[in-house]
């Protein structure tokens, strides 16, 4: 029964072009070209845990000391007094109505509210923790983008996207592209896994969908030997993400002028790559040019749908970035976080030490 289900799922009529079988794409010494091995889509999963170990090692012994040298404090909020009943209620539902809870515990609403406020602040990461996270991501994107640009520089499909389809699916795989795929997939797997204990942001589920869509896109393109288009998508994404993470890191380090300059570069690079080249060059090519050069098959529409899903997320984040850019022009400096903000903890100046007394007062009253 399991074999029947797997055979149905991996039907050649779904995943491969007409007149192509899995045997045609199976790697082997007798083949003229090196094909992708579908079993290798599992390699990035254990490699993701290696990335997680490397990340936390770097954060502890490099990023954190570097952040402290920049004056970033690892201040922790005061812990709430031990109260097992309140703790159980908090873990069950952090948004429970405090009025009813106070009556149940024979406490005043003021006491419960104060405990609740202290308990919620315990879950908020320090600025140093957020700085370390962004440093890790920005350094990875710099390295991965540089590596991708280096290996693709002499590839003909970087300069002529039609080469992604000409000769498909019998397109050879090189060792450098194999490593580019494995490393990139492992990184996104590591983000998906660590997201559940990393800094919680308001766009948690959007980022989760983004990571899953990216992993699915990489896996599908690998299995179907569409790795050429996949490398172009990776290169475009890494380019803009360098600035996304570096803007945040410079903001947490209070390097405002550097932050403003990087944010300006981010806005330009993001719009050019994510809402310019990506839809009007890559997706246009996969939607218009590809059907002209090769016969279509169901899996290709799945692949194109995932590209469109990424584009929709890009549009949402572009709108957020443009909002921040508008506020930055009005205020004279970059204000707020990029793409998202920490859950219930704004990174904007009104919550920083430089905010006005009136804003502190309003926050206290709220």
| pLDDT value, residue 240 | 92
| pLDDT value, residue 359 | 37
With pLDDT > 90 as the criterion, what percentage of the chain qualifies? 46
Q: Note the pLDDT tens digit of each residue in 120-155.
A: 666 677 889 889 999 999 999 999 999 999 999 999
| pLDDT value, residue 341 | 42
Angle (nearest 5°) at CA 356 between 352 and 360: 70
| pLDDT value, residue 338 | 53
| pLDDT value, residue 348 | 40
Mean pLDDT of 245-250: 93
| pLDDT value, residue 343 | 37
Q: How many angstroms separate the CA atoms of 189 and 357, rounded?
A: 44
**362: three-class secondary structure by DSSP:** helix
Q: What is the DSSP string of 326-338?
A: HHHHHHTS--S-S
Q: Is the pLDDT of residue 102 over 70?
A: no
What residues contact residue 302 under an 8 Å CB cut-off, 6+ apart? 220
Of residues 40 and 358, more confidently modeled: 40
Confidence of residue 12 (pLDDT cuts 50, 70, 90): confident
Using the 8-state DSSP alphabet, how is residue 126 labeled?
Answer: P
Surface-to-core class of residue 214, CB atoms within 10 Å of its CB (0-12 exposed, 13-18 middle, 19+ buried) = buried
Q: Note the pLDDT tens digit of each residue in 187-229.
A: 999 999 888 777 666 667 777 888 888 898 899 899 999 999 9
| pLDDT value, residue 229 | 94
Of residues 90 and 32, more confidently modeled: 32
Calculated CA dihedral for residues 322, 324, 327, 329, nearest 10 degrees: -70
Q: How many angstroms separate the CA atoms of 186 and 192, rounded?
A: 10
Mean pLDDT of 78-102: 65
| pLDDT value, residue 270 | 94
| pLDDT value, residue 363 | 40
Q: What is the DSSP string of 211-222?
A: HHHHHHHHHHHH
- Judge whether 338 and 321 are in contact, CB under 8 Å: yes
Tell me the Cα Rg of the chain.
24
**120: three-class secondary structure by DSSP:** helix
Q: Note the pLDDT tens digit of each residue in 266-322.
A: 999 999 999 999 999 999 999 999 999 999 999 899 889 989 988 998 998 899 889
Confidence of residue 114 (pLDDT cuts 50, 70, 90): confident
Using the 8-state DSSP alphabet, how is residue 124 labeled?
Answer: S
Answer whether the bond into residue 169 is a cis peptide, omega within 30°: yes
Q: How many angstroms separate the CA atoms of 144 and 187, rounded?
A: 10
């Amino acid at each position: 029964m399991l074999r029947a289900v797997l055979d149905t799922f991996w039907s050649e009529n779904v995943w491969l072009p007409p007149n192509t079988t899995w045997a045609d794409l199976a790697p082997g010494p007798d083949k003229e070209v090196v094909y992708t091995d579908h079993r290798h889509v599992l390699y990035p999963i254990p490699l993701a845990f290696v990335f997680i170990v490397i990340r936390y090692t770097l954060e502890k012994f490099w990023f954190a000391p570097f952040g402290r040298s920049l004056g970033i404090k690892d201040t922790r909020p005061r812990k709430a007094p031990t109260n097992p009943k309140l703790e159980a209620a908090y873990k069950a539902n952090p948004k429970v109505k405090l009025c009813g809870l106070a009556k149940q515990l024979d406490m005043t609403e003021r006491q419960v509210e104060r405990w609740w406020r202290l308990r919620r602040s315990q879950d908020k990461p320090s600025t140093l923790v957020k700085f370390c996270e962004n440093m890790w991501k920005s350094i990875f994107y710099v390295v991965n983008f540089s590596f991708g640009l280096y290996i693709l520089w002499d590839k003909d499909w970087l300069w002529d996207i039609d080469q992604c389809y000409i000769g498909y699916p019998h397109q050879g795989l090189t060792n450098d592209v194999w490593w580019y795929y494995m490393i990139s997939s492992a990184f996104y797997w590591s983000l998906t896994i660590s997201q559940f204990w990393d800094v919680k942001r308001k766009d948690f589920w959007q980022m989760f969908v983004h990571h899953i869509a990216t992993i699915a896109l990489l896996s599908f393109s690998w299995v179907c030997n569409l790795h050429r288009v996949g490398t172009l998508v990776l290169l475009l994404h890494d380019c803009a993400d360098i600035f996304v993470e570096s803007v945040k890191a410079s903001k947490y380090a209070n390097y405002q002028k550097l932050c403003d300059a990087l944010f300006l570069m981010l806005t330009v690079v993001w719009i050019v790559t994510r809402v310019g080249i990506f839809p009007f060059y890559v997706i246009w090519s996969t939607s218009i040019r590809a059907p002209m050069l090769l016969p279509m098959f169901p899996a290709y529409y799945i692949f194109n749908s995932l590209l469109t899903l990424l584009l929709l997320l890009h549009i949402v984040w572009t709108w957020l970035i443009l909002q921040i850019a508008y506020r930055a022009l009005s205020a004279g400096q970059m204000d707020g976080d990029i793409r998202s903000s920490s859950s219930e903890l704004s990174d904007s100046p009104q919550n920083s030490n430089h905010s006005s007394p009136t804003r502190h007062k309003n926050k206290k009253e709220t």
